[in-house]
Amino acid sequence: MEDETARRGPKRSLSADQIVTVAMGMFDGETPSIRGVAARLNVRPNTLYTYLPDRAALERALVDRLLAEADPDVLVGRRGWRRRIEDYAVSLREVLLERRGAAALFHAAPMDGPTAAIVGERLLGAFVEAGLDPVSASRAAYAVIVHVLGSASLTAADLGDTTEAALIEARRQAVIDPDAFPLTAATLDTAATWNTVDQFRWSLRALLEGCVTPPRPS
């Protein structure tokens, strides 16, 4: 009788999760090539194609890993719906700012992996809990993700190679003609903190409030 193990073939020594972990470690603003990841794993590129058929698939997997690193579990629990959404949004923004180019990756690959599905479902659930119908909840969930990605992208671009503290100080010291731009000159301190988590929380809370507040009659 043929041996069952032999009939099934050799056991795979890799997994998609292991490949994504290595690729994430190699990510430096650009998605590593399949060939490069294979070399780091000391296997042939064809071995990786069994799990991730091309670079696009790898990018989508990296996007899903970043969503997972932000910990979707904070979207569930006994805390209020606002707090749960805010905690995940802040966490995701931090994850995207920890790696150069991570926010830009979301502009190159869709959010359609298993973690993205979980995040989407839990965001929908939070907004339904807030009293929205499913269609409105879907619009609100999308608005939150757009806000996170926009904030992370702008912050990453503004910071560049400088620090948050240095950027804040430079903005506060900006020379603005108060006669030509009186409002801009009067709000330099506020503008200096645009890229901080405090500003992000402020704008996110305003967004959430707008999502669940019925519009006024025209």
The span from the CA of 109 to the CA of 1, in Å, is 48
Sign of the C-alpha dihedral, residues 44, 50, 54, 59?
Answer: negative
Side chain identity at residue 161, one-letter code? D
What's the CA gap between 24 and 37, in Å, rounded? 10
DSSP class of 132 = -
CATH class of 70-212: mainly alpha
**Would you call 145 helix, strand, or coil by DSSP?**
helix
Confidence of residue 9 (pLDDT cuts 50, 70, 90): very low
Structure confidence at residue 1 as a pLDDT band (50, 70, 90): very low
pLDDT, one tens digit per residue, over 195-204 is: 899 999 999 9
pLDDT in tens, 125-158: 999 999 999 999 999 999 999 999 999 999 998 8
Burial of 113 (0-12, 13-18, 19+ CB in 10 A): buried
Using CA atoms, how far apart are residues 190 and 213, in angstroms rounded to an integer?
A: 26
Question: Quick one: CA dihedral 41, 31, 150, 156, positive or negative?
Answer: positive
pLDDT confidence band for 218 (50 / 70 / 90): low
For the segment(s) 1-53, the CATH number from 2.60.40, 1.10.3470, 1.10.8, 1.10.10 is 1.10.10
- Predicted confidence (pLDDT) per residue in 158-204, tens digit: 888 788 888 888 888 888 888 999 999 898 888 888 889 999 999 99
Q: Where are the domains of the chain?
A: 1-53, 70-212
Tell me the whole-structure pTM to 2 decimals: 0.86
